[in-house]
Chains A and B, each alone.
Chain A
Amino acid sequence: MSNRLPPGPAIDWDHGRIDLSHGSGGRAMAQLIDELFVAAFDNPILGQMNDQAQFDAAPGRMVMTTDSYVISPMVFPGGDIGSLAVHGTINDVAMAGAVPMYLSSAFILEEGLPLADLRRVVASMAAASREAGVPIVTGDTKVVEKGKGDGIFINTTGIGRVPPGIAIGGDRARPGDAILVNGTIGDHGMAVLSQRESLGFETTLKSDSAALHGLVARMIAAVPGIACLRDPTRGGLATTLNELATQSGVGMVLDEAAIPIRAEVRAACELLGLDALYSANEGKLIAICPGECAADLLAAMRSHPLGAQSAIVGRVVADADRLVVMETAFGGRRIVDWLAGIQLPRIC
């Protein structure tokens, strides 16, 4: 508890709400930081209580990434905005093959937010950070007037260290490489969509939100020559593969029958006129490696709990047009294009 602050009213965690004083830089803000964030994220570097985190740099190549989380609803089956903000940024670090070391977190809170909601999100964030072994070492809190935000926005930045000998990047895919994924596609997007008040279909689907750095460590130990890793978040598998194809100057051919998709996700997509290939994921990665390493990489992935349903879903080909093409289960070929606009249900 706070021992650096002058005395003041206790925070009413059960019925209180965020007000503008929580972002004013005054006593109420310091109290919120001490009693909530510092208590939950508790670690020696954060405990320095400076305006910045100080730590020794590791030798070698570092990676740094930042991401903002604005998901609605903020709590969804399988996670919430807090755990997502930890997993998502850890995954962006891990997609370089790097070992995530530290996170920062910045909150933008809307006036009127129930403190109980905030406490729940922060607790979930702290649990995700502890489980991943990646501490949150610095942070910031701002409060905006009611109507200027949507409850909670969170930005997290992550830094990590790339092990020697690892060179992973979106420009490294070559014809002949294999394309792998670590499990079922589209779970997160459909789980979140099912919770939108306007949709509200009943499903047992859960978000796949998870930190993937443990899986990645096992993958690069088995196949150090992995060319590309990327997490297919917004835009889904289809859009991420198009990014990689463009960046590497190659084409890709997918095998529709090999892409793991849950029956519930397929059924929901059929019903809503959506395509699971464009549905977001938060615990999935795409790996591209030389064809001759694919079997080893697949075995390594399947040996990890977050890769049990891994599959080889396609191959990299030479294609000046850099198209992603899918051989469909029906026997045709179709272009898997960039997502145009936003994915919207058809109307009839």
Chain B
Amino acid sequence: MQTTHPQAFDGDDVLFAPVLRTGRGFYTAAVFLLAVAAWGAYAYTYQLRYGLGVTGLNRPVAWGFYIVNFVFFIGISHAGTLISAILRLCNAEWRRPITRAAETITVLVLFFGLGSIIIDLGRPDRLFYVMQYGRLQSPLLWDVTSITTYLTASTLYLYLPLIPDLALLRDRARGWRRQLYTAISLGWRGTPEQHRRLERGISVMAVLVIPIAVSVHTVVSWVFSMTLQPMWKSTIFGPYFVTGAIFSGMAALIIAMAAVRRAYHLENYLKPVHFNSLALLLLTMSLLWFYFTFAEHLTAYYGGELAEGAVLFAKVTGPYAPEFWAMVVLNLVIPLAIMANRRTRTVAGIVTASASVLVGMWLERYLIVVPTLANPRLPYARGLYSPTWVEWSITAGAFALFILLYMVFTKLFPIISIWEVREGRERGIQEAYERIESYLPTPTPGTQPSGRVPGVGAAVPSH
């Protein structure tokens, strides 16, 4: 369907194309995802009607898939805002085509993190009691506070850099789209004053969002580590969770980038160098994650405390051993094997490693939540947890709905920040050159011609 002015697009028309034209493949995928999400919604209504008894939750395993999903989704949310903000503050020029894809993941996935908590409640109507009678002594309420703050910050951080692109779309779209973009582009015209205000806002948010993001997953870890449960009460849980969150978030970002690159033919924007840079970061996070995991488990083993030993051996050699060793293979062995080798560090290889990490990190969250509850410190009978079709269906529905919403976002807004890419072309090269030049010692006059790259002799283009 044609929704554009007949005016010619400029060189970046491939970035407008997904927004202004929709092919059959999108609708096919959307129908499938909607069907899975509808099945998940049916399972949830079934749970609402008959209560949490229809799930595999029991005594003592009172937390299962829903809390695993909550921790996993909140972790994925670190893909965007944190990575994007760090790269922006570091003036990493290669960030420009990837920031929007990352920030979108953050905002959308946070809704599913919050939703998982609501699904876990047998009586969601009682959620309002938190608002009325909440006690900020509880880490659960710290979570409510920090996640709400993070969601607000991430939404604003996604919206601000979107404004100039909304104006670009406003000038090209027709019908209801034109009205929508006009309303939310805030009358953007690209005047110097508007640029000044926008850049100031983005800079403030980039600084603010980093401590918020770190605090969110630290607070999520405190929900566990503030208890006396075996293998939960740990001082390294905060950084361990943050590391795992960034690790899984990067994997999600790589997969999202690969998907939009293939679906919308964005090979000229999302280049192998972007995947390679993220892969090296992912490899670093894989090793860091293994370091924390090893430290956590070695301390539990060496301490020899009975309750901790029960959880540890349930994971390593007991009923959770398949999941545990699968987690090690998926989070360490496969990423290491693929990404440490330059020949296998291709786009396909990196995406394979990222998919492996995503599954592995979900298993890691499962292994944090369930074995400890199944082997409690207090003298309760030990339990086992076996999720029912309701939990599987709701989980599948949540993932399907997330993917669907991400697809819909790419149909409403450019998934690559057009104005930032253009700015990179116009100013980035010169700024990067000047920045690198400022790092280097000042050459002795007469030994090095100004404006030339040492050892190369080629003049740097001036802008």
Chains A and B are bound partners: no
